[in-house]
Amino acid sequence: MGFAALGGAPAVASASPQAVLGFGSRAIGMGGTGIAAGEGADVVYANPALLSAARATELTVGFLGASFDVRADGPGFRGPIDVAPLRATTLGAVVPLPFTGALARRVALGLGFVTPTDVVVRARILFPERAQVPLADRVQSVAVQGGLGVDVGHGVRVGAGFAALAALEGSVVVRTDASGRVGTEVRDTLVASYAPVFAASWESRDGRHRVGSVVRGPLVGRFDVVIRAEDLGSITIPPLHISGVAQYDPWQVGLEVARAEGPYRVAIGLTYSHWQDYPGPAEATVRCDDAPEGTSECAAPVPAPPRFVGVVSPRLGVERAFELEGGTSLKFRAGVAFEPSPAPAQRGRANLFDMHRTVVAAGWGAKLGALPLALDGFFQAQVLHARTHDKDPALGALEEGVVATRGLVLAAGLALTARLR
C-alpha cells in the first residue's frame, strides 16, 4: 500500500480527483456539468439535492484512467515533467429511503468513491525550484463523498453532504539502543479531512427545466511526518517536520441551468473557485515550539505564499437520447469547459507551473432491453494552454530567461450501473 513519495522539501498542492477530472461517466462526458442536469450516483458530487429524484436503488462500479504530458522548456528546463498516470476504480450508490406518509419517495442517500489502484494518498515532497505541476498531482488520493437529498415539494429539492480525502500523519524516531547502534522507529497513521457540501435545485412544473446550485467548503488535507532524535548523547536536534498541504480544494459556488427532460438535454453552468485562501504547499521544517531555548532564529524559512487568485469556470454539456425497440436506449454526450489557472506566472525561485485548461469531452450510454443494467463511457481531453514564465534573478530565480510550459491530459472511463427494484 503506497502512502507517499518523498523527494525534497515542501509538498506540491493537491486536490481531489473529481475536482480535476470530474465524477461519474455521464457528468464527465457532458463537460463536467451535472449541478442541474445530473442523475444517478453522479449527483453525489455534483448536487446531492438531486438524489431525491431517485426512485430505485442504484449501484455503479467503474474504472477511470488518465495520462499527463506536461512540458517545460527554457533555462534549466528541457522537455517532459515527470508525472505519474492515474488508474482508479470508482464506486457509486443511490438508495431511496423507505419512508411512508409525507416523506414517501422524497428522501435518498448517496455515496461515491474514487480509489487509485496503487496508492492511498501521494504527497510529492519537492524543493520549490523543482518543476511541479499542481494539476497533475491533484488526483493521487482516495476520495469519498456522501450526501442526502430531500424533495420539499413545489419543484424544490435541497441536499447536504460531505467530501473527504485521505491524508497522512506519521513519525520517525531515531535513537541509540543498548548496544550503541542507531536505529529508527517509523509509524504512519492514515487520517481523513472533510468539507461540507450544501445544494439546492428548482424545476419547472412540467419537469423539463431545472436550476441547480451547490456550495462546497474548503477541503484541506495536511501531510505531516515528524522526525525526532532521542538518546544521542550530547547531540541535540530539534524535531524536523516533513509536512505541508498535501491536498487542497478551495471552497466553490456553482450555478447551472438545464433542460432536464426530453430526447435533447442541455446544461450551462458557472463555477467560482476561491483560491485566494490557499496558503501554499510548504510548512516550516523546524518550528519555534520545538527549538532549544535561547535560539534566536527558531523557525526554518518557508517560501512566500503563492498568491493564487479566484477563478470562474464556464461549462456546457449536451445529451441526445434515442429510444429503440424492445426498451433499448442509446445516449450520446458531449461537453466543453474552460478552467482558468489560479496560479500566477512563476518569475522567482518557485516553479509551481500551472496553465489555463480547455476541457473537451464526449460520452455514450446504453441500456439493453428490459435488463436492469446500463453501461456508460467517456473520453476527455484537457489542453493545457501554452504559457510563458519570465524568470528574474532579482526575484530569486536561479537563471534568467523565459520558460515556456504546455501540456495535454487524456482521460477515459467506463462504468456499469445496476438498478435494483
Q: Model confidence at 218, in pLDDT bands (50, 70, 90)? A: very high
Q: Model confidence at 12, in pLDDT bands (50, 70, 90)? A: very low
User: For residues 359 and 136, which has the higher predicted lDDT (pLDDT)?
Assistant: 359
Report yes or no: 159 and 180 within 8 Å, Cβ to Cβ.
no
Taking alpha carbons only, the member of 265, 269, 382, 268 closest to residue 333 is 265
pLDDT tens profile 364-383: 999 988 889 999 999 999 99
Confidence at residue 300, expressed as pLDDT on a 0 to 100 scale: 64
Within 13 Å and on the Cβ side, how many CA atoms surround 100?
0
Beta bridge partners of 182: 176
Mean pLDDT of the chain: 86
In this predicted structure, the answer to whether residue 329 has a pLDDT above a threshold of 50 is: yes
pLDDT tens profile 166-206: 777 777 887 776 676 777 777 777 778 899 999 999 999 98
d(CA 54, CA 58): 9
Report all structural domains of the chain as residue ranges with CATH numbers, in order of start.
5-420 (2.40.160.60)
User: For residues 304 and 355, which has the higher predicted lDDT (pLDDT)?
Assistant: 355
* Residue with the three cell numbers 505541476: 133
d(CA 21, CA 135): 10
- Give the best-scoring range by mean pLDDT among 185-189, 218-222, 273-277, 288-292: 273-277
Q: Which residues of 286-320 are buried (b: 16+ CB within 10 A; e: fewer)?
A: bbeebbeeeeeebebebbeebebeebebebbbbbe
190: three-class secondary structure by DSSP: strand
